[in-house]
Amino acid sequence: MNANFRRGLRDGIPIGLGYLSVAFAFGIQAVSMGLTPLQALLISMTNVTSAGQLAGITLIGAGASLMEMGLTQLTINLRYALMSLSLSQKLDGSMHTLQRLIFSFCNTDEIFAVASSVKSRVGKYYLYGLMVFPYVGWASGTFIGSAAGTLLPAFVRTALGIAIYGMFLAIIIPPMRSQKPVRTVVILAGLMSILLRYVPGLRSIPAGYAIILCAVVASTVGALLFPVEDAQEAQDDGEKKGDEEP
């Protein structure tokens, strides 16, 4: 097996495990909205996004118009455009149009995060490997959840719920230790996210917009204060800067 493909597979395992539990919850909810397990599975296999799907089944349950469905998906999922744009700068020469069309299907928050955290450029073998377990976990979790949601003990489901966030922390925290630019961006984004969640007035901003707002403001400040020096990615540059610190 291609070494990059295998590396991608391995990096996808924690995402797949996390998805299994999140999709499980989605499956249970979809059935409660009146969808069949097969319909829930089809949504997960064609959308591959948690927040968008959750909003989607809510709208289906409420009998919303197709226009409302389209606009809601656009709003909640617009952050992916930013992620795809960011990732487009990291792809190597093996990613031609077909490979990009295929990978786009699975560019979730978590897959994007892991692909972004790779030090070098990423190519088709790594990205294909990375897609496998998350996709299987997301689809099978949905089906199991919708068909047999109550069979798994509650405490197992609860413990699995934090897995995805644990993985995020594993990506965010190590570079924060040594790189001041990343530290600054993370602290700023975290503070903004808290404000947007709890301050009355700001609280009414939909979650999809709130993430975009945090990302745009924190990254803009980061880019103004710590512009990258050369043709490398900002991460690589931050790494260098960080190493120079005492």
Partner 1 sequence: MSWQIFLPYLLVMALVTYLIRMLPLTLMRRQIKSRFVRSFLGYVPYAVLTAMTIPDILYSTGYTAGGVPDGLITACVGLAAASAAAWMKKGLLTVAIVASLAVAAAQAVLMYI
**Which conformational region is residue 2 in: left (phi greater than 0), alpha (psi within -120 to 50 degrees), or beta?**
beta
Our finding on whether 202 is near partner 1 (CB under 8 A) is no
What value, to the nearest 5°, has the Cα angle with vertex 99 and ends 104 and 110? 35
Three-state SS at 179:
coil
Residues 50-89 that bind partner 1 (CB under 8 A): 52-53, 56, 59-60, 66, 69-70, 73-74, 77-89
Contact 197, 203 (CB under 8 A): yes
Identify any residues that bridge with 122 across adjacent strands, giving them in sequence order: 91
CB of 148 to partner 1, least distance (A): 19
* Site size toward partner 1, by CB under 8 A: 106
Our finding on whether 103 is near partner 1 (CB under 8 A) is yes
d(Cα 68, Cα 162) in Å, to the nearest integer? 31
Residues 161-200 that bind partner 1 (CB under 8 A): 161-175, 177, 181-182, 185-186, 188-190, 192-194, 197-198
Residues 28-57 that bind partner 1 (CB under 8 A): 34-36, 39, 42-43, 46-49, 52-53, 56
Binding mask 127-146 for partner 1 (x = CB under 8 A): --------------------
* 212 φ, ψ (degrees, to nearest 5): -60, -45
CA dihedral 200, 206, 212, 215 (to 10 degrees): 40
CB of 64 to partner 1, least distance (A): 8
Our finding on whether 4 is near partner 1 (CB under 8 A) is no
d(Cα 205, Cα 195) in Å, to the nearest integer? 11
Choose, by CB under 8 A, the member of 62, 151, 155, 199 that binds partner 1.
155
CB of 2 to partner 1, least distance (A): 20
Residues 110-129 that bind partner 1 (CB under 8 A): 112-114, 116-117
Our finding on whether 26 is near partner 1 (CB under 8 A) is no
Token digits of residue 10: 């391995």
Of 2 and 104, which CB lies nearer to partner 1 in the complex structure? 104
d(Cα 94, Cα 104) in Å, to the nearest integer? 15
